[in-house]
Structure 1
Amino acid sequence: MLCTKTERRFWRTRMIGSALMVLAAACAPLPAMAAAPARVAASPVEPTKGGAGGRIIRVTSLAKNGPGSLREAIDAKGPRIVVFEVGGVIDLGRDVLEIREPFLTIAGQTAPSPGVTLIRAGIDLKTHDVILSHMRVMTGADGQPHFSQWEADAFSTVAAHNVIVEHCSFLWAVDENMSASGPRFEGRTPAEWRAHTSHDILFRDNLAAEGLANASHPKGEHSKGSLVHDNATGITFYRNIWAHNVERAPLVKGGAQVRMINNLIYDPGHRAVHYNLMSLEWAGHDYVTGQITAVGNVMRGGNSTDPGLPFLMLGGDGDLAFHGRDNRAVDRFGNALPMFGRYGETKARLVEAKEPLASLDGFDILPSGAVEASLLASAGARPWDRAADDIRVLFFVAEGRGEIIDDEHQVGAGYPKLAETRAPFVATDWNLTSMTPRSGRYPGQKGGAQEKLSDRDRAMRGDSK
């Protein structure tokens, strides 16, 4: 079928992915389409330009630290664009990579195939004006005992602001896969609380999947998608996929303000979107009403999803102002699920708003019926050059397969083992403002559907590759 005008505009300005065959059925080809994904030029919805205009720092080593390493580039001062002349796996050895210096762009799209994957790792971003693109983080339990102290997020902002996290893949977190966090009550007023915690964060086109349930987190079960901590504001989730997380897709805490547009939530366990201002955590502070604006999102039940699970659940003691439009929720058989539910017999109220509580200007918004096919083709790191586990997760979403897991070895051999690759970064071949290749072709770009096939599958299909 032909794309609508909105869909045509979307594909011209955003990307085409080649991850799944489903894309071919979604829209008829358009001659004006680019051949590969590209980041949107700066627009009113983008809170930062990162390190644009700064010096180029080349990552030339897959070592966890030292000369030429990613950590060395991140720790450098001043505006900078981090590019990669090496591809493969960076093993952080159950360490967390902290980003503390502002005005930074990390451009994983510049790496030679197969891109850059961080394992036994997490990223805590503790600064401002950062763009993180096309990186893979696979945290994993790494054999640590249950209830031990390995409890890393795959990615979290910590009292950060003016940040874009786009086209990244976050798998196997032991805490959240992809969050915005910080202190609740630094300062004396709600305005000061908001200024001192995470704010103005854009999560766009990411894959946050397979948070580990009964692994090494000291609290026990902790398969979580995304946490938006109390009083965080200006937090936007645009075109992301959450898959196979017990809950938090996302969890919005007390007084936080969140905008959700065209996201896909697949196989949530006990909760999908939920809001909770906990009286135990707000003792001595006046409650602040939270806000969620949700437009064009899809929740689809899977093998791990509780029967009758609502799209949005309300817990705790504080009120939530909510504007929802064109959201859909279905079980694994396509039967409609309720929009709203509760957990906890408390005085929290859902206050429905007729108009959006956050501006939707500048966003290309697809109808909810077009969201799944679009995101399966585009979300996650390097959709033109998919990693094997990304392909597995996306195909399982498309096929209605998969489940919540406790350990990375339940879905294969564990952490990827990838050969180191090298290629020089030639600055004149790139638009250094948008970090897109002038040729229109990205490193390692592949055509057609990217499937992970066994030797037998290949032989049956007449494919000897």
Structure 2
Amino acid sequence: MSIARTARAYICNTQLDQAAIQVAQNAFSGAVGFGAIATGGNSGTTVYVTNLNDNGTGSFRTAVSSSNVNIEFSVSGYIELYSPVSLSSDITINGQTAPSPGIGTFGREISASGKSNIIIRNFRMRQGNLDTDTGKSAFNMGTATNIILDHCSFEYGQFDTVDAVGAVNITVSNSIIALPIGQQFGAHVETGPSTFYRNLWVSAHNRQPLSKDDTQYINNIVYNYQAAYTSADTAGYFSHDIIGNYFIAGPSTTSAGDAYFQMASDQNVYATGNYIDSNKDGVLNGAASNTVGSATVLSSPWASTSLGLATLTAAEAYTYVIANAGASPRDQVDAYVVSTVESLGTSGAIITNQASTGLSNDGYGTL
């Protein structure tokens, strides 16, 4: 069978698989995309995090060490991690249950590597240079299956902010992926399929995301990029639905056209409703941009649910994402991130150290 016929057959089979996944949206009301099939630990035991300790009874680390648990929080604030945290399969992390001003971790990686069926909502993960292992990421879900991350905030990732190499059926939605240090990369996805929906990507060198899989990329906002949506020359044969996204140049953007980066003819792309604002003039006034490198143009989406998800124009997505992305309520770090985006080209920087933000607590902010 030819490569082209093999690719078409794969796309057809994947469409059937993803249609079944979309019918079984069990994660929570409003869950979308390929990760929505996850049920987490919703039918299991409820476990409460009662302190901000790194480990021990009542700690976050202890809570996530068991499977089939639904985790809630009776405490708010930062949990400083002194070593990476490995999640178990079949868990739900309900950060929205924490008292104001919310809950989060900093200092080390959180890993779902090799695990399955995980839901994380309203949670902050900020690695930063307190982690001496520069090969780690803020969140790692390599070789994981059925994962949904919703209204989360990922900052200061060292290797990647979100690492999903080998991951199957994932959704990242309504989240902030910002200010990576180290490699200065947003997200790396391989295998898939994956859904990136209504996220805010801010001040990364590249990989927003690096998509080596079949991807839905819908109503995202990318600001102050050097390269944004990327497939890379060694990606293989994949399909991409890129709909209603807004790419906004900032002070670190050297070529606004690199919103689509390394998209070769072996990539199949359906692109519509996307805009690029390249003039850095403090006003949202971009122009339509739907020519995605030298990729092969699809006349219709590869995923049957993509058009149904794309309910916002790019301009409407900007307004929505600015108001809603990230963990709630917004803390100092996310407020800083959003304020740079709202400058619409006049502020923002790609950084190597979270302290350069000037925020309290060595740049991690006070939670």
**Counterpart Cα distance in 2 of 1:158 and 1:109:** 25
1:59 deviates by 0.5
Match of 1:264 among 208, 221, 226: 221
Cα separation, partners in 2 of 1:328 and 1:44, compared to 1, 3 Å: closer
Q: CA deviation at 1:310?
A: 3.2
Partner Cα distance (2:354, 2:286) in 1: 31
Residue 246, structure 1, aligned to residue 208, structure 2: no
How far residue 86 of structure 1 moved from its aligned partner, in angstroms, is 1.1
- CA offset at residue 179 of structure 1? 3.1
Cα separation, 2, equivalents of 1:350 and 1:173: 30
The 1:387/1:66 distance shift into structure 2, 3 A limit, reads same
In the TM superposition, residue 360 of structure 1 has moved relative to its aligned partner by 2.0
Aligned to 1:55: 45
Is 1:374 equivalent to 2:320 in the alignment? yes
Rg larger for: 1
- AA paired with 2:123? M
Q: For 1:176, which of 160, 178, 197 is the aligned residue?
A: 160
Given residue 311 of structure 1, which amino acid in structure 2 is its aligned partner?
A: A
Aligned in 2, Cα 1:43/1:324: closer, same or farther, shift over 3 Å? closer
Distance in 1 separating the partners of 2:341 and 2:240: 25
Q: How much has 1:228 moved relative to structure 2? A: 1.0
Distance apart, 1:337 and its partner CA: 8.0
2-side partners of 1:319 and 1:180: how far apart? 22
2:110–2:139 contact (8 Å) kept in structure 1: yes
User: Using a 3 Å threshold, how does the CA distance of structure 1 residues 42 and 136 change in structure 2: closer, same or farther?
Assistant: closer
Residues 76 and 308 of structure 1, relative CA distance in 2, 3 Å threshold:
closer
Deviation at 1:377, TM superposition (A): 0.5
Shift of 1:277: 4.2
Contact 2:354 2:363 in 1 (8 A): yes
Q: How far apart, CA to CA, are the structure 2 residues paired with 1:51 and 1:80?
A: 5
Give 1:339 shift.
4.7
Taking the aligned partners of 1:245 and 1:390, their CA distance within structure 2 comes to 15
Identity over the aligned pairs, expressed in percent? Answer: 26
Task: Establish whether residue 358 from structure 1 lines up as the match of residue 314 from structure 2.
Answer: no
Per-residue deviation at 1:365? 1.8
Decide whether aligned partners of structure 1 residues 330 and 41 sit closer, same or farther in structure 2, where only a CA change above 3 A counts: closer
- Structure-2 change in CA distance of 1:418 and 1:403 (3 Å): closer
Greater helix proportion: 2
Letter in 2 for 1:137: M
Higher RCO (CA < 8 A, seq sep 6+): 1
- Conserved? CA contact 2:203–2:224, under 8 Å: yes
- Secondary structure, in 3 states, of the residue corresponding to 2:258? coil
Deviation at 1:295, TM superposition (A): 0.8
Partner AA of 1:66 in structure 2: G
Please, which of 379, 389, 394 is the counterpart of residue 333 of structure 2? 389
Paired residue secondary structure (2:339)? helix
**Number of residue equivalences:** 329
Deviation at 1:363, TM superposition (A): 2.4
Quickly say closer, same or farther: Cα 1:267–1:167, change in 2 above 3 A.
Answer: same
Instruction: Describe how 1:127-166 pairs up with structure 2 within 5 A.
Output: 127-142=115-130, 149-166=133-150
- 1:319-340 deviations in Å (ceiling 9; x for gaps): 1011111111121234548655
TM-score (norm: length of structure 1): 0.67
Q: Report the CA distance shift for 1:288/1:393 in structure 2 as closer, same or farther (over 3 A).
A: closer
Taking the aligned partners of 1:42 and 1:172, their CA distance within structure 2 comes to 26
- Flag the 1:169–1:61 CA change in 2: closer, same or farther, 3 A: same
Query: Which residue pairs with 1:106 in the alignment?
Result: 93
| Cα distance in 1 between the residues matched to 2:246 and 2:76 | 34
1:120 aligns with 2:107: yes
Unaligned runs of 5+ in 2: 1-27
In the superposition, the TM-score normalised over structure 2's length comes to 0.84
Aligned equivalents of 1:165, 1:355: Cα separation in 2: 27
Query: In structure 2, what is the equivalent of residue 406 of structure 1?
Result: 352
Tell me the equivalent position of 1:75. Answer: 65
